[in-house]
C-alpha cells in the first residue's frame, strides 16, 4: 500500500463507526461512535486504577525558558486526572545551545555527526548522508539521558522500576473534550507482554508492525475497558514525546552511549539495542489506510494545532551550513 507521511495524514477518530469501514488487523471490537464518546470518557472523579501503581516515576521535560509550555502541559494533565497531574514532575530540560556554546558536549555522551542513510529509507522528508545534530536535538537527547540516569539510580520496592517520560507538548487522548488517557493507558499496561523494556504511548511507526497476539490481552473477555488498545512491535519509527521505560532498559541504553544523532533516530537505527520495544495504539482510529483498515490512534499525540511546530529543528532536513548558523547562541 502507498505510504503517506504523517504531516499529510488527517485524524479520523471515530471513523470506525462507519459500517463500511473494515476494522484493523487483530481487532475484535469497534470504537464507539462519536455521539457516545461523552458518556464513555473516563470519569475523573474516581481514583486512578491500580495499573498506575506499576509506574514509579513520572517526568515531563520542559525548558526553563518556556514556562508557558509547562503551564499548558499542566492544564492538559489536570484534564486527565488531578492525581495524575500531581504525579508528573517537571524536569528542567538541557538547553542544547548552552551546551554547545560552553563546549560541554562530551564525546562520551553525544556525537554530533551522524549518518542519516537508514533514516532516509523510512522518511521521504529526510535527506541521506552525513548530518550534524542541531542544538535542539542535542538538548533533547541529553534531557532523556539524564532521566535515564535518574531511573537507574532510583531505589524501589519494585524489581524493575518504571518511569513515564513526557515532553511538554504531549497531548493526552480525549474525546468530546473529555480525557480517556487513564482508561487506554491502563489497558496498554494490561496488554503489553511482560518482557517489555520500552512502551511507546506516542509513536510514528515505519515499516512492518508485528502485533501482539490476542492471547496476551488478559482482559479481552472481561469487557473491562471502553476501547480496544492494540500492542505491536515496531520495525522503525520516530518520537520520544511519550513513553514508559524500565530501569533495566535504561541501564542498557546508558551502556550504549554516546547518542549519535537525534535520540529517536539513534534508538531506531540501532533496533533499540535489542530491548523489547512495543507501541500502543487505539484500534479503529487514526489514519485510514488504502485497504480500509486504520493505523490506530496514539495514546499521546503532540500539540501541533494552530500552526505550532516543534521547538527542535531536525538535522535530517536541514543543510549543514544552515545548522551551523542555528547552533550559534
Residues 234 and 205 sit within 8 Å (Cβ to Cβ)? yes
With H, G, I as helix, E, B as strand and everything else as coil, classify residue 181.
helix
Kindly tell me the burial class for residue 103, based on how many C-beta atoms sit within 10 Å of its own C-beta (0-12, 13-18, 19 or more).
exposed
- Determine the pLDDT at residue 187: 93
Q: Report the first-to-last Cα separation within the chain, whole angstroms.
A: 44
Tell me what pLDDT residue 295 has: 87
In contact, 127 and 317? CB cutoff 8 Å? yes
Position 33 confidence tier, pLDDT thresholds 50, 70, 90: very low
What CATH number does domain 49-282+299-326 carry, 2.70.98, 3.90.550, 3.30.70, 1.10.287?
3.90.550
157: phi then psi, degrees, rounded to nearest 5: -70, -20
Task: Please give the pLDDT value at position 4.
Answer: 47
Cβ 22 vs Cβ 292: under 8 Å: yes
Which tens digit of pLDDT belongs to each residue from 136-154? Answer: 999 999 999 999 999 999 9
H or E element at residue 110: strand 110-111
Nearest by Cα to 64 from 39, 40, 90, 86: 90
Q: Considering Cα of 246, then 113, then 99, then 125, what sign does the dihedral take? A: negative
Give the lowest-confidence range in 188-197, 247-256, 303-312. 303-312
Residue 24's pLDDT is 39
Measured CA to CA, the distance from residue 156 to residue 266 in angstroms comes to: 29
For 68, half-sphere exposure in the C-beta direction (CA atoms, 13 angstrom radius) is 1
Question: Between 58 and 319, whose confidence is greater?
Answer: 58
Phi/psi at 142 (nearest 5 deg)? -65, -35
Tell me the average pLDDT across 218-225: 53
Check pLDDT > 60 for residue 22: no
CB-based contacts of 26, cutoff 8 Å, min separation 6 = 211, 213, 214, 230
Q: Are 198 and 244 in contact, with CB atoms under 8 Å apart?
A: yes
Q: Tabulate helix, strand, coil % of the chain (nearest 5).
A: 35, 20, 45
Domain boundaries, the chain: 49-282+299-326
Give the residues across from 280 on adjacent strands: 231
Residues 165 and 201: beta-carbon distance below 8 Å: no
Amino acid at each position: 500500500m502507498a505510504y503517506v507521511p504523517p504531516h499529510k495524514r488527517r485524524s479520523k477518530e471515530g471513523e470506525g463507526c462507519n459500517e463500511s469501514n473494515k476494522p484493523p488487523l487483530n481487532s475484535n471490537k469497534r470504537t464507539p461512535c462519536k455521539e457516545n464518546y461523552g458518556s464513555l470518557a473516563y470519569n475523573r472523579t474516581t481514583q486512578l486504577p491500580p495499573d498506575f501503581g506499576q509506574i514509579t516515576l513520572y517526568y515531563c521535560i520542559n525548558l526553563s525558558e518556556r514556562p508557558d509550555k509547562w503551564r499548558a502541559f499542566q492544564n492538559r494533565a489536570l484534564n486527565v486526572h488531578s492525581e495524575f497531574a500531581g504525579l508528573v514532575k517537571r524536569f528542567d530540560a538541557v538547553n542544547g545551545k548552552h551546551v554547545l556554546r560552553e563546549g560541554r558536549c562530551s564525546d562520551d555522551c553525544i556525537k554530533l555527526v551522524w549518518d542519516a542513510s537508514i533514516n532516509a529509507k523510512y522518511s521521504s522528508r529526510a535527506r541521506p548522508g552525513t548530518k550534524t545534530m542541531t542544538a535542539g536535538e542535542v538538548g533533547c537527547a541529553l534531557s532523556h539521558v539524564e532521566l535515564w540516569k535518574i531511573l537507574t539510580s532510583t531505589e524501589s520496592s519494585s524489581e524493575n522500576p518504571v518511569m513515564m517520560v513526557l515532553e511538554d507538548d504531549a497531548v493526552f487522548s480525549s474525546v468530546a473534550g473529555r480525557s480517556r488517557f487513564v482508561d487506554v493507558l491502563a489497558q496498554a499496561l494490561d496488554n503489553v507482554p511482560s518482557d517489555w523494556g520500552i512502551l511507546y504511548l506516542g509513536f510514528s511507526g515505519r515499516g512492518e508492525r508485528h502485533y501482539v497476539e490476542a492471547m496476551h490481552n488478559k482482559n479481552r473477555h472481561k469487557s473491562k475497558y471502553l476501547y480496544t488498545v492494540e500492542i505491536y512491535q515496531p520495525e522503525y519509527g520516530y518520537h520520544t514525546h511519550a513513553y514508559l521505560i524500565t530501569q533495566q532498559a535504561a541501564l542498557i541504553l546508558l551502556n550504549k552511549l554516546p547518542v549519535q544523532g537525534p535520540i529517536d533516530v539513534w534508538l531506531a537505527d540501532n533496533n533499540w539495542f535489542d530491548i523489547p520495544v512495543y507501541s500502543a495504539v487505539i484500534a479503529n482510529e487514526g489514519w485510514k489506510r488504502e485497504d480500509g483498515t486504520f493505523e490506530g490512534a496514539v495514546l499521546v499525540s503532540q500539540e501541533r494545532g494552530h500552526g505550532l511546530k516543534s521547538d527542535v529543528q531536525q538535522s535530517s532536513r536541514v543543510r549543514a551550513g544552515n545548522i551551523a548558523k542555528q547552533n550559534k547562541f
